Chain A
Amino acid sequence: MSDRCENILRLLDGTLSETELRALMLDSTKDPALVDALVQGVIIDDLLSRHVEFLRDAVHANWLASFRKGFTATVPDNGTPHACDRLAHQLNSQAVPRSTPSRKRLRIWQLAAMACIGAALICTWLFSGRFRQQAPQVANVATKSSVARFSRSVNAEWPGGAHRWAVGDQVSVGQRVELASGRAELVFNAGAVLALAGPAVLVLESEDSVRLHSGTATTRVEGAEKSPAGKFRVLTPATEVVDLGTEFGVRVVPGGETDVVVFDGSVDFTPLAISGADPAPRRLAIGEAARISADGDWQRLVSIDNDAFPFGERMFVQTTRRPPVIIGVRDDLRSPASPKYYRICHEGLGEDARAYVDRVHEWNGIAKEGLPYFLHGADYVATFNDDKRQCPTITVELSQPAVLYVFYDDRMVVPDWLSESFEDTGFNIGLDEGPSPIMHSFRVDVDPGTSIDAVHSIWRRRVAQAGSVRLGSIGERLSGWSMYGIAAQPL
């Protein structure tokens, strides 16, 4: 048995010859015990490989030294911090620089990276069969009635019989853009930029209005109040949405309901079912979202998937490394009259990640070494900073076993629900604050270790099964205060 079992390693290495493989298969079909040993071997080999992913860099080296000396690895069920975390904490426990808020700027490497991504996408498109199969294209010359330009697409597929738009095409009033899948972007002469996520059907009604029959459209309008064309409008089967100088998303869901989400600025919406009675439009501000039904009723949208409304550079992010861990968030606080939404960002946590839906504050590493390694690429939830004044109970829904993290402001008393069911990892994360109703002069900076205005301790809890986890309200403030953050990584 032993001689044959060692073949498991050669099989997994890919170094087993075809003759040896045939012999192994033949033996296995006659001997269930051999198969059992192979199955056990591959499971353990796989577990060991994944174990390595938890142990990285300097932390890895230290763990390895301890392991070779007979160190007994993590025993998380007794509440003792992970050995790796303790070691990493020692590496991470550096003085927190307090810096003067400065203007945000793009670094050279970021611009270069964006250029490379753009070039790669263009090359991919040029050499794909799809390019060669393009239907005859519309002339790229602006016509008298053209009001927008087809500016870019990402993995766009067109339904049979529909027009295949190409980058540079001019789009006129009355023309339809039908997208089977992928993403497309239109730049309007009046200044609006509209990103369409398929499947979707959009008709241009005028130079400053579109009708979205289905799908998702995210629009950004700069300086709408100064635009000679006036405010930008999106019409759907259920409502009319009027932009007030902002970034907002509109989605027509099956059944005719419309979701309206405001990412910046504000919009007015008027349900069409009651428009005949001269209704007052309803205003949604940054961090608010509503679902409007065909009969004119509307309700709060509790959480928004960040990937559901692609725009700008987010249009290119179509693939993720793993399924989402956080799949829902809700609270017990808000009435329908306060339609704020939580924003769920899959694999979105990194330097300068937007921390709240109602502020422009960002998460950053507290020193130039950056965020703790275990947070990179985590799913996270942008919460409401205004909730620091209230006491919501937040429920996070996890799709799988996970490590759930809470970023808790060190300036506040730690509440019992946190200290009793979570453990302090010993790591910190910084909050780079932008302007707020009180601190008008604050500005966010880029990169870790600069412009850190508040330090949050990172607490963690291992959640063994998929399901819901309830988080309590914040404790008393000692000096400053801010709402906690939420993140998760698969276990």
Chain B
Amino acid sequence: MAECDDRQRRFLAEYVQCQQSVWQLLRLLIQDHHLREDTCQAVALRLWEVFDEYDPSRPFNSWARGVAAKVVLEMQRSDRRAVPAVTSEWVASVVEGFERSPLASNPSSEQFVALEACLGALPPLSRELIAKRYHEALPVDEVARQMSRTLEATYKALARSLRLLGDCVRQRLSSAGEVHVS
């Protein structure tokens, strides 16, 4: 667009690709929802402020997650009540986990296509659990009640379903030519 300066355009193009990844990182690091949202905004602002330091030869995703981790640690140092219990070792290990993850390096559009294909391949019990927990947005204790299971068993079964889905999505994304969007 004529009035957009080049810096803004480049930043926008990069940031919209990585914002979900930053959000996922923050979901692991910060449990409080409101604090997480505030932090997400602070991260976006910081990314814009230091965008000139970004090296385009590196993946923007990785750089953005690094900046996000720094913001979280700064917040924790300035107010320990704000981000309780977070250690720098934990933050570093989670950031490294994202670096290693093949899911984190794929665009969300491709993840989505793979997810939809994998949902159809889930066993019936997993399908029912996922449907209740995510598509009907029921809390886990309600899922447990409706399926006549203990809370503990429901958490385990859901975790297993997520792992199945994750493995399937990862496999599809790593199989060249099998996953694409028109």
Contacts and interface: CB of A to CB of B under 8 A. Distances in A.
Interface of A: 2-3, 5-6, 8-14, 16, 18, 21-22, 25, 28-29, 32, 35-52, 55, 60, 64, 67-68, 70-77, 79, 251, 253, 259, 291, 301-303, 305, 308, 322-324, 327-328, 344, 397, 399-401, 461-462, 464-466, 490-491
B159 A8 contact: yes
Nearest to B136: A64
A45 B31 contact: no
Given A32-B97, A37-B163, A400 B182 contact: no
Interface in B5-54: 9, 12-13, 15-17, 19-20, 23-24, 27-28, 31-33
Given A42-B27, A44-B169, A48-B115, A25 B162 contact: no
Interface residues of B, number: 72
B137 interface: yes
Given A41-B166, A46-B24, A75-B116, A401 B108 contact: yes
A327 B9 contact: yes
26 contacts: A14-B32, A21-B85, A29-B90, A29-B93, A35-B94, A41-B162, A41-B166, A42-B24, A44-B169, A45-B27, A48-B134, A52-B134, A67-B127, A67-B135, A72-B120, A73-B117, A76-B181, A77-B181, A77-B182, A291-B2, A303-B2, A323-B16, A328-B4, A464-B107, A464-B180, A491-B109
B94 A39 contact: yes
Interface of B: 1-4, 9, 12-13, 15-17, 19-20, 23-24, 27-28, 31-33, 84-87, 89-90, 93-94, 96-98, 100-101, 103-104, 107-113, 115-117, 119-121, 124, 127-128, 130-131, 134-137, 139-140, 155-156, 158-160, 162-163, 165-166, 169-170, 180-182
A259 B166 CA distance: 51
Given A52-B135, A75-B116, A70 B90 contact: no
Contacts of A74: 113, 116
A322 B16 CA distance: 9
B104 A39 contact: yes
Contacts of B163: 5, 37, 40-41
B3 to A, nearest CB: 6
B110 A45 contact: no
